[in-house]
Amino acid sequence: MSMRAYTRRELAGLTFAALTSANASPPKPNSKINGVVIGAQSYSFRDRSLDEAIQGMVDAGLSHCVLWQGHVEPRLGQGEDARRELRKWRTSVPMAEFAKIRDKFHRAGIRIHAYYYSFRADFSDEEMARGFEMARALGVKCLEASATVSQAKRIDTFASKANMYVGVHNHSNLTPDEFARPEDFEEALRGTTHIRINFDIGHFVVAGFDPVGYLERHHRKIIVLDIKDRDRDGVNHPFGKGATPIREVLQLMQRRKYNIPAMIEYEYKGTDTVAEVKRCYDYCRAVLAPAR
């Protein structure tokens, strides 16, 4: 069989096409599934550095996230000296560092929906205010916080000044001043203008409440959903194996067109983090697939 002889112009064109293909950027992930945004709390990748966490999200196919402060702040240990050093870092770190982080996520094709910065009772006013500056430098309009009910009005003062919302995060600890019960959210929202809800459906189940009904009644006040699968006794499971109604929650959001991003929070004991987050994501994709 004879071989065709290519002209010099044809050879140049083939070479350019090959080089263009080799240097092309890989396709960006898209994890908006049939109208529902699925992403990850970067805390899911707590065993990795920030850069490794970003790559892990890309490898899992996720294009949305909430950025956990543990991927940004220095790890200084415990004790009073460490606390002073952390406060010093928070109040002096240049906002250009957060702009660099924003650019890393942008290049990876991942949208940051919120910065998770947990306001605690020992925060100085400057630490409080800086959290909103950090969020703005990251390009986001809201924060999430593991705070206490009694702090809500103080947080709201700073949030109002910054014109940003703060979603308070619930846990399953049914003790005074902790966010766990519907009444705790209600108290924090009463008399405040910029407090919203970061709704963790797994913790809500362990606390003894129904996340489907709560979501249906209060979706307008929820800015981000955290999804994990837990039994009522608190044991974490792969998605679909515990008592948390993840399927029902996601399908409700799809059916009612709630504009609330749902973030995977990987906490059960698995093998490789990226593989397990992808497993969680695959479950979400399956329950949101069109009926056949």
- pLDDT by 10-residue block (mean), the chain, 292 residues: 48 43 69 97 98 98 98 94 97 98 98 97 97 98 97 98 98 95 98 98 98 98 98 97 98 97 97 97 96 68
- To which residue do tokens 């059960």 refer? 268
pLDDT of residue 292: 64
Superfamily of segment(s) 36-288? Divalent-metal-dependent TIM barrel enzymes (3.20.20.150)
Q: Concatenated DSSP letters for 162-225?
A: HT-EEEEEP-S--STTBS-SHHHHHHHHTT-SSEEEEEEHHHHHHTT--HHHHHHHHGGGEEEE
Is 246 within 8 Å of 239 (Cβ atoms)? Answer: yes
**Of 127, 123, 126, 133, nearest in space to 98 by CA:** 133
Q: Concatenated DSSP letters for 227-253?
A: E-EE-TTS-EESTTSSSS-HHHHHHHH
pLDDT of residue 54: 98
Is 221 within 8 Å of 189 (Cβ atoms)? Answer: yes
pLDDT of residue 25: 65
pLDDT of residue 21: 46
**Of 76, 86, 82, 29, nearest in space to 54 by CA:** 29
**The overall pTM is greater than 0.75:** yes
In degrees rounded to 5, what are phi and psi of residue 51?
Answer: -60, -40
Structure tokens at 268: 């059960």
Ranges of each domain in the chain = 36-288
